[in-house]
Amino acid sequence: MSSLLRVGRNPTGRDLVVGDVHGHLAQLQRQLDDLRFNPQSDRLFFLGDIVDRGPDSGVLLEMVDQRTYFSVLGNHEAMMIAGYESPGSAGLHRANGGEWFYRLPDEERQQCVAAARRWPWAIEVDTGFGRAGLVHANVPDSSWIELLRQLRAMDRHWRSGAPLTERAVAFAAQNILWKRTLILHFYGKVLESGAVRQKLEDYLESFGVGEEWKVPATAEQLEPFRIAGIDRVYMGHTYVPTAIRVGKCHFLDSYREEPGDALSLVCINR
């Protein structure tokens, strides 16, 4: 499969996007049940990092079929791949919740890696009223066009089995799977305003975790979040206290197993 997957419009049901699940299938299932998710008509899109930390990493990997349950590659799946293909790098994965993987028989580990290697690094979804981009961590230079350029540069190498250390692959991985440029700009340049921070605290007190909060920012503050070449972008990777919308960017990594926590699950086609 190409590193970019384009998905057509869903004519019969909802398209839901969920932030980093990290092995917590029970929490995901509870929230899908609350939403009356119907796999016959609805589709679920993961933003990567479905593995590690929680008890159900293997089951979640098996769920992804890129037909009803879609996922982009996250940095935790990348660590899993690297830990298997280059055992010297396994320590990083083990230290970040990956111990479950190294307890599996070799054949099962090989299957997990082969499955994740087939996942796209970015997904574009036709929502019926624009294109939604899904990517794990970041959009380089606030440009979906630049993201696609980097994917094209590495795609042939990745599909032929190149390691994550190959030059073009490593460059794209750092910019798309690991970097936190956009979310750190939100924390450092937007949320630093006492007024904005207070509005977020008021919102959480009134609505709780899980609802998406639209950031009341100035035009200047919003500039880095006006992503070129796409209508909106959904990302995970970095913790936010609830789903956050700022400009064209939606940040959805909100679950840490703390009391009151919930996965951020948003519908993108209604």
Catalytic residues, by residue number, are: 76
Q: Compute the distance between CA of residue 97 and CA of residue 111 in angstroms, rounded to an integer.
A: 19
Are residues 134 and 18 in contact, defined by beta-carbon separation less than 8 angstroms? no
Is there a contact between 65 and 71 (Cβ–Cβ < 8 Å)? no
DSSP codes, 71-123:
E---HHHHHHHHHHHSGGGHHHHIIIIIHHHHTS-HHHHHHHHHHHHTS-SEE
**Which distant-in-sequence residues (6+ apart) come within 8 Å of 221 by Cβ?**
189, 190
- Give the CA diameter of the chain: 54
Question: Distance between CA atoms of 217 and 246, rounded to whole angstroms?
Answer: 8
CA proximity to 158, closest of 85, 68, 57: 85
Compute the distance between CA of residue 213 and CA of residue 230 in angstroms, rounded to an integer.
21
Decide if 266 contacts 244 (C-beta within 8 A): no
SS3 state of residue 245: strand
Please choose, from the candidates 147, 118, 149, 144, the residue with its C-alpha nearest in 3D space to the C-alpha of residue 131: 144
